Structure 1
Amino acid sequence: MKIRAATQADHDAVWALLEPVFRAGDTYAIDPDISREDALAYWFGPERRVLLAEQDGTVLGTYYIVRNQKGGGSHVCNCGYVTDAAARGQGVARAMLDHSLALAPDLGFRAMQFNFVVSTNTRAITIWERAGFKTVGRLPNAFHHPVRGDVDALVMFRAL
């Protein structure tokens, strides 16, 4: 699997990954009716470095890395990850996580924080915990899941 920087030429591929995830409304705190333009503006937002995971020319996933806060918190980064549904369970998320954990120190980050992990996203939580992330906060009923109703969101953290 190759992980490379995304370019504007990759917008169609990135949208193809983001659209079903955002439309499902069960893992990201994003309006499920978000437009393509707004979704891409969010994913490729200011200061975000966006990468793609590919195998044999097929895009399997994307992630971004960005500083979590400015000023005194700028040494902590935040990431978002999306894997193509057809590639789930094939190590794509773990490969993107490993890549981001290796890249983050090169970008000057000393820690990584996930601000809003939906508690029902157990597949992601398991991957993050296996990589050494700890739940450092729980936001009770902070996310309205389209099927399960109000569920908790987690704040997860790992020093690098």
Structure 2
Amino acid sequence: MKYNKVETLKHVIAISYANCVKDYNQIVLDEDDSINLLPTIFDNVQVIDLDCVEKKLAGNERRNQKSTMDTTFAISDSLRLEMLLVELRFNYINLANLNRKKLLDKVAGSTSILGSSIKINNDYIFIFKSNLIEQAKNRLLRMNPVIPSNYIVMDLQTLFDTYFK
């Protein structure tokens, strides 16, 4: 399944919170401006910034913000259409600080926002810098209780190769 811009932009959340639809390169650079996107890895890719949506929802509902994944976008093939949840974790130096409850809360908060209008993909993607991939995978495997196996660790290039190439 690959990125589907049209379906991303047609999602009820993208329509309701149009100012939270953003260029993916900008979101990545905002997360870590030391990343070299050569010059930009994502060509004309628009995604829904879930942190932005949650901030607006919490403000409207006068409540504290819930944890959410950073972004979501539609992926599809000839038979299926799903939303993919992606969290950017570039600022991690000490992976011992990865917290199981926070990871679970991010997925729960995001699925709550998206609702059931379009199926949410079963894989939840966590992006780390390339030099931390093995450590991050190892940390998730060693969490107790175990983190579900559908919490997938990858780097930005692997995300691009898997869903955009």
Structure with the larger helix share: 2
Q: TM-score when scaled to structure 2? A: 0.41
State the TM-score, normalizing by the size of structure 1. 0.42
Question: Hey, which of these two has a bigger chunk of strand by percent?
Answer: 1
Report which structure shows greater RCO (CA 8 Å, sep ≥6).
2
